[in-house]
């Protein structure tokens, strides 16, 4: 006996909704308080977080840009990290 397509689809949507409701919020770390338009623009550019719940955290030490943190995964577009990597690279010369 095999599972029918209908059963599979129902299972899939149920599991997905369950997982989505338990998953943690995505954190956007920005140097200042982001406006709604800015958050929407970020969501547009990065489709993987478009449907997720977003939490904005302000951290002025990142200087400029922003970081997107999802659990232990991080997308780092901050100026601080760019400067740090430059510092590391210049030490090798």
Partner 1 sequence: MSNQLINQYIKEFEKELHEQSLRTEGIMEVGNVEEVKDGVISARGLDNASYGELVTFETGTQGMIVDMTETNVGIIVLGSYENITAGSRITATGKTLSIEVGEALLGRVVDALAIPEDGQEKPKAEARYPVEKIAPGVVKRKSVSVPIQTGIKAVDALVPIGRGQRELIIGDRGTGKTTICLDTIINQKGQDVLCVYCAIGQKNAKIAATYELLKAQGAMDYTVIVKASASDPVAMQYLAPYSATAIAEYSMDQGKDVLVVYDDLTKHAYAYRQVSLILRRPAGREAYPGDVFYLHSRLLERSCRLSDAAGGGSITALPIIETLENDLSAYIPTNVISITDGQIFLETDLFNAGMRPAINVGMSVSRVGGSAQTKAMKQVAGKLKLDLAQYRELASFAQFDSDLDDETKKFLNRGARATEVLKQQKNQPLDLAHEVVILWAIAHGYLDSVEIPKVKAFEYALFQMCDVHHKKLLERINKQKSLDSKDEEELKRIMDQLVI
**Interface with partner 1, residue 88, by CB under 8 A:** yes
**Interacting span for partner 1 (CB under 8 A) from 3-11, 27-35, 37-45, 50-58:** 3-11
Give 67-79 as a DSSP string. Answer: EEEETTEEEEEEH
Phi first, then psi, for residue 37 (nearest 5°) are -65, -40
Q: By CB under 8 A, what part of segment 45-84 binds partner 1?
A: 69, 71-76, 84
**DSSP H/E element including 57:** strand 54-58
Residue numbers at the binding site for partner 1 (CB under 8 A) = 1-3, 8, 11-12, 15, 19, 69, 71-76, 84, 88, 91
């Amino acid at each position: 006996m095999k599972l029918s397509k209908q059963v599979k689809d129902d299972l899939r949507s149920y599991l997905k909704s369950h997982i989505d409701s338990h998953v943690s919020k995505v954190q956007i770390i920005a140097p200042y308080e982001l406006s709604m338009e800015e958050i929407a623009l970020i969501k547009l550019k990065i489709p993987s977080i478009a449907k997720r719940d977003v939490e904005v955290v302000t951290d002025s030490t990142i200087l400029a840009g922003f970081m997107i943190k999802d659990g232990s995964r991080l997308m780092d577009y901050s100026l601080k990290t760019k400067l740090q990597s430059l510092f590391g690279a210049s030490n090798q010369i």
